[in-house]
Structure 1
C-alpha cells in the first residue's frame, strides 16, 4: 500500500466518524431488510406513491384503471408494468391487472413499442397521450417505455390533471450514469451516508433487495448506467471471482435498463495478470485486456464498459511507459471493438510541479490529443478545473476539443459541501456550469451544448455524477441530500430544466404537497448554495488539500507537494489575496476564448464570484459593492453564517406540512450547520486578519476565540 493510499484509508476512517456522528443510523440500518422506524425514514425517496387527495383529479385517473395493456413481453416492459401496478395501487387504491389482450378495449393504460422512423435519441424517448379512450405510453424501446411509465406516475404523484394529456420527452445525453467511489472493503471514498451499498462478501449468492430499490430510483430519473467501484480502483475487480459478483448486481440493474460499468486499475496486467509490463503498446498487454473484456462479456452480456483514472494522484497509467492518455484509452477501446461497451477516460490529471498551476493541467495534457482518441472513448471532464469546489469557473477543456467527445463529471456527494450535516442544494452548481458560454462557436456555445453533442456533432455523449448513496436507511445521510441525486438525474435527462422546477418537483414528491410549506423549503434550498459559499469560500476562494476535505484550515502549508496545501490556492500575503491567473501570473486565462478572457481579465470587471480565482487583489481595493476586499470578505463570512439561522426559520415555518421524523432530522442537522458555519467564519477571518492587519468592520461581532484556539479545535476534529 502506497503512502497515498494510507492517507486515503485514514481519511475514510475520519469521514466515517463524521458521517456516523451526522447520521447515527449508520451501517446498522443497512438496507431494505433493516427495520424502518415510525414515520418517514426517507427510504422511499421520491417514489412514495402516497394516495392522491384531490378528489376531482383522482376521479380522472380512475377512468383509466380498467387494465394495463402491454404490447411487448420484454423484461424491461414487464418492469414498467409492475411499477404501474404498484403505483396505481398506492396512489389510487386500485388493483389493476396487466394483459397482452387489450385490442378494442378502452379505459386503460397501454404500454406500446412503436415501429418506424426513430426521431428520438437511441430510442429512449417516450410519448404519453390520450388516444382511443386509453392513456398510451409509447416509445421505440423498452427503456423508453419504462421512463415514460415513471413520468406518468410522477404526473400522478404531483396530482396534475390528465385532461388533454400530451407529453413527449427524449434524453439530451446518451450515457447518464452514477460513478460510485466504493471500495471492496465496504468503505466509500468521499462517502457520508454509511458504508457501500454493494455487499461483495455476500455476492453472488445473496443479492440484497436494496439493489432493486436503487435501480428503481435511478430508472425513475432516466439514469441508465452505474459504475460500481472507486476510480482509485482495485485490480481484484478484474478477477473471475469479482466478475461473477458484478454479474449478480448487473442482473438486477438490467431489469431497469441500467448498464453496469467498472473502474479499472491500469496496472492490472502486471499486478493481476503476472505480465512484466502494463505498456499499452505491448502486444501481450493488449491481448490480456482483450481476453479480460471477453471474460467479462461472457458473464455480463450487456456490460457498459470501463471508467479509468490514470496518471493522476499516484495512479498508474500509460505515461509510466512514455505513452499518452490516447494510447492508453485506445488500447482499451480496441478490446471493446466486438462489443457495445465504451471507455470513459477521466481528465482529472495534474503533476507535482511546484512552479505549475493545477488549473491548467488537464488542458495542457488533453487538448494536444484532440482527434487522437478512438471513437469508443469519451473523455470525462470535471465541471471545474480544480476539484469540485463550492464554486469554480467551468473547465477550459469544454469547447477546446471539438474532435473528442467530452463527458461531464459532476459531484453529487458533498466532498467540499459540508458532508452530511450541511444542507446544500446542488442543482444551481450544475446549472451554473451547464449554462456557461464557452464562445467556441460564438455566443450561445454553452457547456451543455458541448456535452450533449449538439455543438460538435458528438454521437456518444455522457453526463456522470459521483454518487452520494450509502447504506444509511435514507440513502444519502442528510435527507435533503436526496435532492442532489434527484437533480443530477433530471438534468442528465434534460439540462434545460431549471433549479426551481426541479426543487419544486422533488419537494412535492419527497417531502410535502402542502403548498405553503413547500414554498418555504424551496426558498431556502435555492439560496443554500450561495449561503454555503459565503461562509466557506466567498469571492472565488478555493481550498483543496490532502485530508478529509472539510475542516477549516486555511493556514495549512505542509504537504508532500505544493498543490496539496491550502496556501497554494488562496495565496494570502500582506498585500492581498487570490491567485493571479492573468498574463502577469500563471496565464491560465489564456486557455479560454477571448470573449471569456474579457469577462475575467480585469479585476474591476470580473464578477465577484470569480474574482479571487483569477486575481490577487489588494486588501484595500474597492469592489463594485463599494466595500474594500477585506470588508467584503468579512461581510460574506458573517452574513453567510448568519443566514443559516434564516434557513432554520424557513424549515420551522414548513414544520406543519412535514413528517415529524423528517422535520426533526433536518432541524438537528441545521443546528450542526449553524455551529460549523461559525467555525468556518472564525477560522477564515482570524487567519486572513493576520495578513490584512485590519479590524472586523463595525456591525459584526468580534470573534470570541483566538486563532490559536480555533486551530486547536481543528486539530481535535482531525484526531477524531
Structure 2
C-alpha cells in the first residue's frame, strides 16, 4: 500500500463518523456528549510536553488484546553497529533528564519501539535476537540479514533513500511485521509510521504499506529571536531562569547558564523525535535576520553538540547568515571591507568557504546557509550594484565544493521596483530565471541554489492567492516557505489549524504552460514544489517553526497540530488536511469517536473563521504594526507598504486594492488563465476579491447581499464560530485531561474576545467610508416575542440589548423566531422580573462549520 493508500484509510476512518454533508456535521456538534463519559486518556496533570509521542495505553480492551497477540517481540539486528559521527566529547544530558542520547539511528528506532509499544500495550515488549514469533523486525538489507532474507531487493529499490515499507509476513510458522528500507534513517521513519498506526487504533494485520516522500528536503527554519510565540513566561514570550524562550539554549544566563549547549535538554530530543516522526530532515537554527554569532568558533562548538544529538534522528543543521558577515569585527583579523563584498571576488568567496569549512569540520553533514538579503534592512549584493543572482551564485560557488546549498529567500519588496509591493519579487527574480546563458541553457541561478518563496505574494496572511513565482521560475530550484508559527494567524492565543491553508495553496492550480503554450498536465503548486511539473530533480519545502521552551513546546496545545500537519504535508502534499487533523487528535487527545469528531470539526473551520473575522473577502494585512496580532485598519506608517491603509484603500467608493489590468496589473504575473480570472471582478473568486479589485460598497455579491452587507456578515460569522468553539470545548471536559482542558479553555476565552475586537474595530472603520448602517440580518439574526410585542433588529456584535417594557408587561420571552428556519433557538434563562435579564442561544451552521450566538436581553421599564 502506498502513502496515498494510507490517506485512503484515513478517509475511510473519517467516513465512519462524519457521514453526509456539512449539515450533518453541524447537527452532530450540537448533540450531547455520551452520557457514560470514560476517563481521559492522559494523566490529569499532563502538560503536552511529549507532543504526539505520548504513547498512552490503548483503552479499548478488545483492540489491546489483538495488539498484544500480534506484537510479542522487537528485533533490530546490529542496532549499535553504524554509529553516527559525534564531534563533542563531553556531550551529556542535563541532570534529571528522562530522555537519553543514542549513538545510532537504529538504536533510535529500537528505543522508540520499546517506548511506544510498551506504553501503548501497557506492558514491556522485549528486544530479542533471532526470529521469534510475533516479532516486529526493523532494518535494512545492510544492517539485518533477517530483512535481507524476508524482503526482496526489488521491493526496496523504488523506495529510494527515505522511503520505507511495512509488511506482514508469515515464514516458517512465524508471524512477523517487517519495517524495511534501504537506509537506517528510512527504517526509523517507518518505525514512527508503524507506531502512529497503533496510536490511531488502526489494524496491524495484513499490512502491505510503502511510502516515499514526494519532496527531498523537508526543513524547518527556526527563528530564535522573532515570532517566538512558544516562550515560557507569563507574558507569552521570552523565557524563565535566564533562558530567552527559544527551544535551544546557547547563551542562557542565571539559573540556566549551566544548561547551555553542549548540555542536552529533554526538549531537544523530544523535538528531534517529533521531527523524525514526520520525516523532517533539517533545521536552520537561527533567525533569517541573522546574528553572525552563529558563525563564531564558540557557537560552532555548541552547534556541533546540537548536531550530534539530532543526527541519529536524521535532522541536519543549517545556519541563517548575514550577507555582510565578513565585515563583522568578531572575525578579526579575518574580515573584509564593505567594498570587498563583491560576490565575484575571490576574497568574498574564499571567506565564505573558510567559514563553511569550519562548520563542516565540526558538523560533517552541515547543510548550508539560508540568506535573507536586501530585504527589510538586511544587507545584500544590491548594496554593491549586483542582483540576487550574483549574490546567490557567489555564495553558492563558495560552498559547492563542500556539497552545501544556499537557500536564498525571495521575500523582497524594494519600493523603487514598483508601486505595488506584490509585484516586486517576480520583477527582481523572474528576469534572472529567464536569462539565456552562454552554454545555451536558460536561467542564471546555480544548481546548488534554492529560491525560498513564501506561499503567497505578501506575507503569511490568513489567505493569499498562490505566489505567482510558482510555475514562473521554470529554470530554478524553488522551495516553498510556509509559516508554522502563527504570526498573522492568532499567535499563541487563537486556535487556528493551518492544514487547510496549506492544502489550499499546495492544491492551487497555477495553469502553468509549457514551451508550446499548452497547459501542463501536472501544474498544481504542489507539482511545482515536488519537481514533477517542470522536471526539477532537487526539491524542498520549508516551515518557519513554532518550537520554544514552553512546557508544550509550541505555546498553544493546538499549535502542535500545525507542526504535525506541516511535516505530514512535507512528506506527501497530496494528503487532506482533515485526515491529518483526525490522526493528530487520535495521537494527541483521544481515540474516542465523539472527541475526535468534535476536535476535528473545531480545527477544520478555525482557519476560515479567522479569515472571516480578520480579513474577509480578500482585504489583507490589517494588523497593528506593534505585534501583528490585533487590528488597526486605520494605521499609516512611515513606510507606505507596511501600512494597513495601503492595502485596504478604503474610500467612499469602496474597499480593496485594484490589481486588475486597469490598476497595478499584478494579475499579469500569473499564467493567462489565472490572469484573466483574477483580472475580472465578475470571475475572481470572492474570497480573493479585494486582493485584486477595489470593490464598490453596493456591488451585488453572489449571495444576493450587497458588498457592505456581505462584509459585515462575514465578520459576524467568524466570531460566531469562535463562540461555538468555546461551547464545543466545554462539552469535552469529561473526556480530556484536566490541565490541558483548562489551558485551552482559557485560550478560547481570550480568542473569542479578540475575535470580537477584530470585528468591531474593522466594521467600525469601514463604516466611516461606506456611510451605511451596520446590518442586523446576520447569520444568526432573530426576533423575540415578549410582553406581547415582536422585537428584532438586534446588533449581533453588541454584548447585550436593552429592551424597555411597558408597565405591567411580563418579561417572559414567549417565542423566538430566527430569520433562517434552519437556525435553532433556545431560551437559556428568563428574567425573574423587571429589571431582569434573559439569554437566548441561537445555533446554526456556516459554510465552514457550526456557529453560535448567545443574545443577552436586559429588560427595563
Same fold (TM over 0.5): yes
Could you tell me which residue of structure 2 aligns to residue 320 of structure 1? 383
Could you tell me which residue of structure 1 aligns to residue 614 of structure 2? 536
Rounded to whole Å, the distance in 2 between the matches of 1:177 and 1:359 is: 26
Matched residues, number: 663
- Larger of the two Rg values belongs to structure: 2
Rounded to whole Å, the distance in 2 between the matches of 1:696 and 1:337 is: 61
Residues 643 and 95 of structure 1: is their aligned pair in 2 closer, same or farther, counting only changes over 3 Å? closer
1:394, CA displacement in angstroms? Answer: 0.2
Could you tell me which residue of structure 2 aligns to residue 109 of structure 1? 136
Maintained 8 Å contact 1:517/1:655: no
Rounded to whole Å, the distance in 2 between the matches of 1:121 and 1:356 is: 48
Maintained 8 Å contact 2:138/2:178: yes
Rounded to whole Å, the distance in 2 between the matches of 1:93 and 1:685 is: 55
Could you tell me which residue of structure 1 aligns to residue 167 of structure 2? 129
1:694, CA displacement in angstroms? Answer: 0.5
1:121, CA displacement in angstroms? Answer: 6.0
Could you tell me which residue of structure 1 aligns to residue 770 of structure 2? 692
Maintained 8 Å contact 1:453/1:460: yes
* Candidates 186, 199, 206, aligned match of 2:249: 199
Could you tell me which residue of structure 2 aligns to residue 484 of structure 1? 562
Could you tell me which residue of structure 2 aligns to residue 677 of structure 1? 755
**3-state DSSP of counterpart to 2:359:** helix
User: Deviations along 1:101-147, whole A, 9 cap, x unmatched?
Assistant: 42x54321111213756644641000000123211000011111000
Taking the TM superposition and a 5 Å limit, the aligned residue runs for 1:24-423 are 39-62=45-68, 63-70=70-77, 73-74=81-82, 75-99=104-128, 101-102=129-130, 104-114=131-141, 116=153, 119-120=157-158, 122-131=160-169, 132=171, 133-183=175-225, 188-194=226-232, 195-201=245-251, 202-271=259-328, 272=331, 273-276=334-337, 277-353=340-416, 356-370=419-433, 371-423=443-495
Rounded to whole Å, the distance in 1 between the matches of 2:630 and 2:647 is: 16
1:599, CA displacement in angstroms? Answer: 2.2
Rounded to whole Å, the distance in 1 between the matches of 2:415 and 2:304 is: 38
Maintained 8 Å contact 2:163/2:210: yes
Rounded to whole Å, the distance in 2 between the matches of 1:175 and 1:694 is: 52
Counterpart check, 1:701 vs 2:795: yes
Residues 659 and 38 of structure 1: is their aligned pair in 2 closer, same or farther, counting only changes over 3 Å? closer
Rounded to whole Å, the distance in 2 between the matches of 1:114 and 1:350 is: 51
Rounded to whole Å, the distance in 1 between the matches of 2:661 and 2:575 is: 37
Higher relative contact order (CA 8 A, sep 6+): 1
* Candidates 634, 640, 658, aligned match of 1:580: 658
More strand by share: 2
**3-state DSSP of counterpart to 1:337:** helix
**3-state DSSP of counterpart to 1:402:** coil
Maintained 8 Å contact 2:630/2:754: no
1:269, CA displacement in angstroms? Answer: 0.9
318-327 vs 107-116, greater mean Cα deviation? 107-116
Q: RMSD of the TM alignment (CA)? A: 1.9
More helix by share: 1
Rounded to whole Å, the distance in 2 between the matches of 1:455 and 1:612 is: 29
Rounded to whole Å, the distance in 1 between the matches of 2:583 and 2:553 is: 19
1:663, CA displacement in angstroms? Answer: 1.6
Q: Which runs of 5+ in 2 are unaligned?
A: 1-41, 83-103, 143-152, 233-244, 252-258, 434-442, 514-518, 778-793, 800-861
**3-state DSSP of counterpart to 2:278:** coil
Counterpart check, 1:667 vs 2:745: yes
Q: Which runs of 5+ in 1 are unaligned?
A: 1-35, 706-720
Rounded to whole Å, the distance in 1 between the matches of 2:776 and 2:107 is: 66
* Candidates 629, 650, 654, aligned match of 1:550: 629
Maintained 8 Å contact 2:44/2:737: no
TM-score w.r.t. structure 1 length?
0.89
1:91, CA displacement in angstroms? Answer: 1.2
